[in-house]
């Protein structure tokens, strides 16, 4: 377990202090969980393929204290709409529609854990108060939603003494988001937030949710990973995400497999005539992306982080040309990064906006950040936000 940074310790103390002030008693402890970026493997999750995220050093912290009744009270410094107003809800009547706004994430997590615990001994389960602080930017594609769910889930598993294995905790946090919040997400975000190790990426097989930590010694290699938040909001409303999912399902159906995970690049070429041209290109992104994730893992193992630049670039080109989910801001971020000396760069996340990542020599970070600012201004884009992330450890207890 790595020692928390001083900024992070302050957020932990802030969570405990905010708890005391809001709720008037001592918390039982403080827990935290990180946000994440996906290094490579985009849209492969729902095709039962491979992804390779890292947890980042931006975290969400929660101070939690048990109550003697079955009431839940939650408050957060980061709930943009309502300040840190307390939201109250009964523990036993949490349902989709009965909760709204940001509180659906923590309340959904409590609900997910109760579902997972099922008929096990629930004697130690009761209401609780929880106060959140965070430095994960909300809604920037860095998975603040998984961070809030995984921080609270880790706290409640401890306080409620739930005998749940890690996969059931994972499922509870995913169900919080799928069922109570109502967002159709896969296992990537919560897996990264729960199970990442500092200095490692997490290689996940989305078919059976098995996972493995892969050494990603960025600092030792003299490298930095820069996130470029384009501030372009993903417009999933225009149907882009659903449309891509449908195309993948169609390709799998025509090729006679359960999911595109089961198609090799060779098999896809053999089946090409049977596929509509657009469907073929969508499938080609998934099939080649799965291969790139596996190649990235192999290269990280044999040669380290400096060797994966080409694969990041190939992934971006595939999303831009075959899957068609990039936007001019993301392409500019990638092209400018490469011109400023990056080893590799790609858009990350679902696409249609959000962030790009660039892998760059430590001494070139400043030059790259400046170049991106200049390029965005020249193109008339909104000013991007850039920051360096390091591969951090997953959810954990921080203090009693």
Q: Which one of residues 32, 44, 58, 143 is an interface residue with ligand ADP (CB under 6 A)?
A: 143
Pick the piece of the chain touching Mg ion (CB under 5 A) from 16-24, 89-97, 137-145, 243-251: 137-145
Phi then psi for residue 102, to 5 deg, are -65, -25
Element (H, E) at 56: strand 50-66
Pairing state between β 344-348 and 355-361: antiparallel
The minimum distance between CB 64 and ligand ADP, in angstroms, equals 14
184 contact choice in ligand ADP, Mg ion, none (CB below 5 to 8 Å, kind-dependent): none
| Largest separation between any pair of C-alpha atoms in the chain | 68
134 binds ligand ADP (CB under 6 A): yes
Asked if 143 and 36 touch (Cβ cutoff 8 Å), the reply is yes
- Selection from Mg ion, ligand ADP, none that 55 binds (CB < 5 to 8 A by kind) is none
Residue 60 interacts with, from Mg ion, ligand ADP, none (CB under 5-8 Å by kind): ligand ADP
- Report if residue 348 touches ligand ADP, rule: CB under 6 A: no
Among 23, 132, 160, 323, binds ligand ADP (CB under 6 A): 132
- Which among 45, 57, 129, 189 is annotated as catalytic? 189
- Residue 192's SS3 state is helix
Taking the C-alpha atoms of residue 217 and residue 107, their distance in angstroms, rounded to an integer, is 36
Task: Rule CB under 6 A: choose which of 78, 115, 209, 213 binds ligand ADP.
Answer: 78
Residue 134's binding partner out of ligand ADP, Mg ion, none, with CB under 5 to 8 Å set by partner kind: ligand ADP
Contact flag: residue 230 with ligand ADP (CB under 6 A):
no
Q: Which does 190 bind (CB under 5 to 8 A by kind): ligand ADP, Mg ion, none?
A: none
Min dist. Cβ of residue 188 to ligand ADP (A):
11
Shortest Å distance, C-beta 99 to Mg ion: 17
Instruction: Return d(Cα 190, Cα 261) in angstroms, integer.
Output: 21
Query: Which H/E stretch holds residue 130?
Result: strand 128-134
Q: How far apart are CA 215 and CA 224, in angstroms?
A: 15
- Measured from the CB atom, the residue of 9 and 185 that comes closer to Mg ion is 185
Residue 84 annotated among the catalytic residues of the structure = no
**Radius of gyration over alpha carbons of the chain, in Å?**
21
> Measuring CA to CA, how many Å separate 174 from each of 134, 143, 147, 180, 249?
20, 12, 12, 10, 22
For binding to Mg ion (CB under 5 A), which residues are involved? 143, 145
């Amino acid at each position: 377990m790595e020692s928390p940074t001083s900024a992070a310790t302050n957020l932990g103390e802030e969570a405990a202090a905010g708890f005391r002030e809001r709720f008037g008693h001592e918390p039982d402890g403080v827990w935290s969980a990180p946000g994440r970026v996906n290094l490579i493997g985009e849209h492969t999750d729902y095709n039962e393929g491979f992804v390779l995220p890292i947890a980042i050093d931006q975290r969400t912290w929660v101070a939690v204290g048990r109550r003697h009744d079955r009431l839940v009270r939650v408050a957060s410094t980061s709930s943009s709409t309502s300040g840190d107003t307390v939201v109250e809800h009964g523990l036993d009547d949490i349902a989709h529609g009965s909760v709204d706004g940001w509180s659906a994430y923590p309340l959904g997590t409590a609900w997910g854990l109760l579902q997972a615990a099922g008929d096990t001994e629930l004697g130690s389960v009761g209401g609780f108060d929880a106060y959140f602080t965070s430095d994960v930017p909300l809604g920037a594609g860095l998975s603040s939603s998984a961070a809030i769910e995984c921080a609270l889930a880790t706290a409640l598993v401890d306080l409620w003494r739930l005998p749940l294995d890690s996969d059931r905790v994972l499922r509870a946090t995913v169900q919080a988001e799928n069922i109570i919040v109502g967002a159709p997400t896969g296992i990537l975000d919560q897996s990264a937030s729960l199970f990442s190790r500092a200095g490692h990426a997490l290689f996940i097989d989305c078919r059976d949710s098995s996972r493995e930590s892969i050494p990603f010694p960025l600092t030792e290699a003299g490298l930095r990973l820069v996130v470029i938040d384009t501030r372009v909001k993903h417009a999933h409303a225009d149907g882009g995400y659903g449309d891509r999912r449908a195309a993948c399902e169609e390709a799998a159906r025509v090729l006679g497999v359960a999911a595109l995970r089961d198609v090799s690049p060779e098999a896809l070429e053999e089946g090409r005539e049977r596929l509509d041209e657009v469907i073929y290109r969508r499938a080609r992104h998934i099939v080649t992306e799965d291969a790139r994730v596996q190649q990235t893992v192999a290269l990280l193992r044999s040669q380290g982080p400096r060797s994966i630049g080409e694969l990041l670039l190939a992934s971006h080109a595939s999303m831009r040309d075959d899957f068609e989910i990039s936007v001019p801001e993301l392409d500019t971020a990638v092209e400018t990064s490469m011109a400023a000396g990056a080893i590799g760069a790609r858009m990350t996340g679902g696409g249609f906006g959000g962030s790009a990542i660039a892998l760059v020599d430590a001494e070139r970070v400043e030059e790259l950040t400046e170049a991106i600012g200049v390029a965005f201004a020249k193109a008339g884009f909104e000013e991007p936000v850039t920051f360096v992330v390091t591969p951090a450890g997953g959810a954990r207890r921080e203090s009693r």
